[in-house]
Amino acid sequence: MSKPKGFEKPTGFRDYTPHVVSKLRTIERNVLECMERWGYRQIITPTIEYYDTVGVASSTSDRKLFKLLNSRGTTLVLRSDLTAPIARVVSSMLKDEQLPLRLSYHANVFRSIEEEAGREAEFFQTGVELVGDDSPEADAEVVALAIASLQAAGVSSFKIAMGHMGFLNGLLEEVIPGQTTEQEQLKEGLLGRDYVGYRQSIEALNLEPKLKEQLEAILRLRGGKEVCTHAVELSSSAEAAQSIAHLCAVFEVLEAYGVSEHVLIDLTMIGDFSYYTGMTFEGYAAELGSPVCSGGRYDNLLQQFGRSLPATGFALKTNRIIDGVHGITIEEKKPVLIQYTPKRRAEALTEAARLRSMGQNVVTLLLPEDGAGASAVSVEARNAQAEQVITYGPEEGGR
* Total length of the chain: 399
Separation CA 304–CA 55 (nearest Å): 11
The stretch 185-203 carries a mean pLDDT of 88
pLDDT of residue 329: 75
In the prediction, which pLDDT does 114 show? 61
The larger pLDDT score, comparing residue 12 to residue 369, is at 12
Handedness of CA 247, 253, 256, 261 (dihedral sign): negative
Task: Check residues 10 and 164 and name the one with the higher pLDDT.
Answer: 164
Residue 381 above 80 pLDDT?
Answer: no
Q: Is the pLDDT of residue 247 over 60?
A: yes
Q: What are phi and psi of 10, to 5 degrees?
A: -60, 145
Buried b (16+ CB within 10 A) or exposed e, 67-98: eeeeeeeeebbbbbbbbbbbbbbbbeebeeee
Residue 146: predicted pLDDT: 98
Among candidates 308, 249, 261, 28, which has minimal Cα distance to 147? 261
Helix crossing, 195-203 with 209-217: angle to 10°? 160
Mean pLDDT score, 221-231: 89
Predicted TM-score of the model (pTM): 0.88
Contacts of 31 (CB under 8 A, 6+ apart): 106, 126, 149, 152, 153, 316
* Mean pLDDT in residue range 186-207: 88
Rounded mean pLDDT, 272-299:
88
| pLDDT-above-70 percentage for the chain | 92
Q: Could you report the per-residue pLDDT of 305-350, keeping only the tens digit for each?
A: 989 999 999 999 999 999 888 777 777 788 999 999 999 999 999 9
C-alpha–C-alpha distance, residues 281 and 82, integer Å: 17
Q: Sort 273 into a burial class: Cβ within 10 Å, 0-12 / 13-18 / 19+.
A: middle
Q: For residue range 257-267, what is the model confidence (pLDDT) as tens digits?
A: 999 999 999 99
Average pLDDT rounded to a whole number, residues 87-101: 95
> pLDDT for 361-372, tens place per residue?
999 999 987 655
Sign of CA dihedral 48, 52, 58, 64: positive
Quick one: pLDDT at residue 386? Answer: 81
According to the model, what pLDDT value does residue 332 have? 78
Q: What pLDDT is stored for residue 92 in this prediction?
A: 94
Sign for the pseudo-dihedral over CA of 363, 367, 371, 373 = negative
Helix axes 195-203, 180-191, angle to 10 degrees: 160
Lowest-confidence range among 27-31, 87-91, 382-386? 382-386
pLDDT at residue number 2:
65
pLDDT at 244 over 90: yes
Q: Does the pLDDT value for residue 373 go beyond 80?
A: no
- pLDDT average, residue stretch 107-133: 86
pLDDT of 4 strictly over 90:
no
Which of 91-95, 135-139, 354-358, 373-377 shows the lowest mean pLDDT across its residues?
373-377
pLDDT exceeds cutoff 50 at 91: yes
Percent of the chain with pLDDT over 90: 58
The confidence score (pLDDT) of residue 399 equals 46
- Report the pLDDT averaged over residues 153-165: 93
At residue 330's C-alpha, the angle toward residues 325 and 332, to 5°, is 155
What is the pLDDT, as a whole number, of residue 275?
79
CB 154 within 8 A of CB 325: yes
3-state secondary structure of 75: strand
